[in-house]
Amino acid sequence: MMRALLCTILLACAAACAQAAGPAHFAARPEVRAFIREMVEQHGFVQHELEYVFSRARREPAILEAIQPPAPPARRPWDAYRAIFVNDRHIRAGGEFWQAHARVLERAQRESGVPAEVIVSILGIETFYGRSTGRWRVVDALATLAFDYPPRAGFFRGELANYLRLARDSGIDVFSVRGSYAGAIGIPQFMPSSYLRYAVDFDGDGAVDLRASAADAIGSVANYLKQHGWQAGAPVIAAASVSGEGYKTFADGSVEPKHAAAELAKAGVRFDGVPAEARAALIELDNGDAPREYRLGLANFYVLTRYNRSSFYATAVADLAAALRAAFQPEGR
C-alpha cells in the first residue's frame, strides 16, 4: 500500500514538473484542445494530426522575453536605428542583389509600380537579402505567443491557424519552417496571413516559396505594396525642418497623410518639392539627447507602414532605397 502511494506521488510530481516546464505539452491544455476542435470544424483538419503537432510543439520562454516592448529609456534613438540598415554593408550587398535579380525586379516594378530600389531595400532590412531569415521553428513561435502571450493572443492564434492552413495546403512539413520570434517567414518575412493573401508565384514554377525563391519574394513584396495602395511614380518622403510652436500640433505620432502640405507649411514646417495640395504626415524621429529629425511622410510612406507600422522602419526603407538608387542604378532608368 505504501509503495503504491509512493509511486502515485512520484508520478504526480513528475506530471506537475512536466507541466511547469511546458515545452512539449501544448496538446494537453484545454485552450489548445478547443483550438484543435475549431480547426477541425472550420478548416477540415484531422484531429489526431493536430494533436500530434501540438504534442511536439515547444513553448519557448525566450520568445516571450523577446516580444516584450522595450521600456521608453531603452528605445533606440533614430540615428542608431538608421545606422543598422543604411550603411555601406547594406548598400553594397543591395547592389549585388539588385544586379543578380535585375530582370525580375524590372518586371516587378513594371507590373506593380513599386520601384526596384524600394523592394530591394525592404528585403535588405528584413533579412539582409535573404541571408538571415530567423532561427525559430514557426510552429513553436506561434504556439508560444498564441497560448502564453495574453496581450496579443487573438492575433497570434489567427496567425497560427493560417500557418497550419499554409503548411497543409502547400504540402510543407509544419516543423521544417523557421522564421522570426514572431512567426514571420522567408526572405520578405511575411506573417502567415500575408503569405496566404499576398504571396505570389513570380518565378512561374507552380509554387509559392518565400523561403528559397528570390523571385517569389520580390514579386510578393511588390504585390503587397500594390494591394495596399502604392502610387506609381509618387514620392515617399521629404526632408523637413520645423520652427515656432505651431508644428507641435501635427507631430502627434500619426503616420496617416491627412494634412495638406500647405497647412503644415503655415504651422512652421519647411520642406521642398512637395505640392501644396499633397496630403502628408509630419514624421518626428526621436534622437534621444540629440535634436529630433523631421520628415514629411506622403501616401507611399503610409503604404510602407502597412508592411511594418514603425515610422523608424518606413523611414529607413526610404533612406536605404535612396542610397541604393544613388549607388546602383541599371542603365536606362
Which amino acid is residue 288, in one-letter code? G
User: From the DSSP assignment, how many helices (H) and strands (E) are in the chain?
Assistant: 15, 7
The span from the CA of 145 to the CA of 127, in Å, is 22
Are the beta carbons of 59 and 148 closer than 8 angstroms? yes
The span from the CA of 314 to the CA of 256, in Å, is 12
117 is catalytic: no
- Active-site residue (options: 126, 159, 245, 284): 126
Tell me which residue of 174, 159, 173, 99 sits closest to 129, measured CA to CA. Answer: 99
Q: Nine-digit cell at 308? A: 511594418
Give the three-class secondary structure for 328.
coil
The span from the CA of 46 to the CA of 40, in Å, is 6
Q: Nine-digit cell at 108? A: 516587378
Main-chain phi, psi angles of 139, to 5 degrees: -65, -35
Active-site residue list? 126
